[in-house]
Structure 1
Amino acid sequence: MAEPKKKTLISHGIASQNRRARYDYTIGETMEAGLVLVGPEVKSLRAGRATLSEAWAGERDGALYLFGCTIPEWQAGSTVAKFEPGRPRKLLLHKKQVNELIGAIARDGATIVPLQIHFNDKGIAKVVLGVSEGRKKHDKRNAIAERDWARDKARLMRNRG
């Protein structure tokens, strides 16, 4: 009788992606930031259970926080280290980077959108942030049309040659 397959944990690589962000926003500059997490949150991230679809980054008390990111509780964890799944999580950046992002929010009305959470080569959780502007509905349609045309053009050139 075969043993049930155990789900492997992510030691390095992408833990969660916000696929909708590139559709809803025009992404400008991107930067990588650290996250302040508690132990069971790291376990849940390694299991690939985080949700970034409604997440955004904003300023609170002179620091940047990640709001709306849901990391569900680790089921195998004890009751000692409980945490709130949707709590704001502090982002670890240099002061110059924090001031630059806060300035982009205040000056340009930009939105800081998390694009993905991943584990680097050392196994540390990082979040990739994008400075972005929201797209209108007609901009989204144009982006879809351009992407479709590029795909069709590549198909035509491949079949022709």
Structure 2
Amino acid sequence: MAKTSGKKPDKPRKPTAGERAKVASDAHKTIARNMKATHDYFIEDRYEAGLSLTGTEVKALRMGRASLTEAWIEIDRHGEAWLQGAHVPEYLQGTWNNHSPRRKRKLLLHRAEIDRLSQRVQAKGYTIVPLELYFIGGRVKIEIALARGKQDWDKRQSLREAQDKREAARAMSAVNRRQG
């Protein structure tokens, strides 16, 4: 008979507090979504960009209060991308140096991405819209998209397709409940 060493098999160790904090900080925490963007535009290309913010803006965003509904992205003649029209309310505990709620905020993108976006926006019917504002690892990021505007009939068709998809899913779940 083979003799065993009498040692217990190694148990997986528990993560330390620092490791748990790192996992939590890497999580994707959504601050705001632009729900109208998918209704009003065909989304073609998506990009992730950083935002240049002041301290009170970050604190206000940590409270989860922001609006991208009326926001848009503009590329100026110097080749810099700016977030316009986004509303980040003033930080309640801020002092005299609190930020302006609707100020324009600089987007942090690579030069090649800005050039590609600028080139496509020159084509008729294209624009750049913000889709989502979120935290990743303690940094504020924004998902932007190159988009083409929808006509009214496009919007009706999209709503019809979404309704058909919902009805099909509802019918499938009813069939699965009967069988199961």
Q: Deviations over 1:103-137 (max 9, x none)?
A: 111134411000010001x2100000011011111
Partner of 1:82: 98
Percent identity of paired positions between Structure 1 and Structure 2: 39
Instruction: Give the corresponding residue for 1:125.
Output: 140
Partner of 1:44: 60
Q: Distance in 1 between matches of 2:105 and 2:90?
A: 15
Matches within 5 A, 1:63-142: 63-79=80-96, 81-120=97-136, 122-142=137-157
Displacement of 1:63: 0.5
Where 1:49 maps in the other structure, the secondary structure is coil
Query: Structure 2: which 5+ residue stretches go unaligned?
Result: 1-24
The match for 1:150 is: 165
Alpha-carbon displacement from aligned partner over 1:52-77 (angstroms, at most 9, x marks no partner): 00000011221010011111110111
TM-score (norm 2): 0.79
CA contact (8 A) 2:125 2:149 kept: no
Paired residues, what number?
A: 149
Q: Which amino acid aligns with 1:62?
A: G
CA radius of gyration, larger in: 2
* Structure 1 segments (4+ residues) deviating >4 Å: none
Q: Determine helix, strand or coil for the equivalent of 2:119.
A: helix
Once residues 50 and 158 of structure 1 are traced to their aligned partners in structure 2, the CA distance between those partners, rounded to angstroms, is 36
CA RMSD of aligned residues (A): 1.2
Distance 2:131 2:47 in 1: 10
TM-score when normalising by structure 1: 0.88
